[in-house]
Copies of this chain bind each other. A is one copy, B any other.
Amino acid sequence: MPEKRFRTPAGQRILAAAEELFYDRGITAVGVDLIAEHSGLTKRTLYNQFGSKDHLVSAYLTERDRRWRSLVHDTVDACDDPVAAVTAPFDALRAWSRTNTRGCAFINALAELPDPAHPAHRIAADQKHWLLNLFRKLAAAAGCAQPATLATRLLVLHEGALATQPLALDTLPESTRLARSLVRASLRNGGPEGTHR
């Protein structure tokens, strides 16, 4: 059962418990017994619903990705100014970080699951490509010069702020400021500074 569109209420509760535990304590460190216990359901139900721990891990990452994209879309849509919309993912990250302080779930998952054949790799790669592409589209829509280059820079800033988050260095505000200034600069002159040569 690689994917499942409609999940039973018990399946949803198990997935919710898995999301919390996997993110907070790490995927390998959390056993299926613990997930069953935290969800109030039985291990048998877990296996009836998800088939294996690997499939549950995939469902965890897929669901988290869905929630994150939904938040970013909402934040972008709430911007009436197309220039402000370019850095809307940074605003979404600020809100997201209030309840998620253990860094990026996908980077963390890749750290624990080095096998490139594991579905987690595709999910993680897809998410970052999606964000890169979103930055590019938003930059182009705002009339930024060289949207591809700008998008790469914004992605690096975004991931850098996210990666340093567990270290409590409070890098997000400065990253956001720099991101906004890069967008402004790409509107003022014919391209972001430092691109020539």
Residue ranges of A at the interface with B (Cβ–Cβ < 8 Å): 24-26, 28-29, 102-104, 107-114, 124-125, 128-129, 132, 149, 152-153, 155-164, 166-169, 171, 174-175, 177-178, 180-182, 184-185, 192-195
Contact = CB atoms under 8 A, between A and B. Distances in A.
Nearest to A148: B174
Contact of A26 (B104, B112, B163): B112
A160 B24 CA distance: 22
Given A149-B174, A169-B128, A26 B160 contact: no
Q: How many copies does the complex hold?
A: 2
A155 B163 CA distance: 11
Contacts of A112: 26, 28-29, 111-112
- Where chain A touches its partner, the secondary structure class is helix
A164 B135 CA distance: 16
Contacts of A168: 125
Contacts of A107: 103, 107, 111, 163, 166
Contact of A194 (B104, B161, B178): B178
Nearest to A194: B181
Contacts of A167: 110, 124-125, 128
A174 B152 contact: yes
Given A110-B103, A110-B166, A114-B102, A156 B171 contact: yes
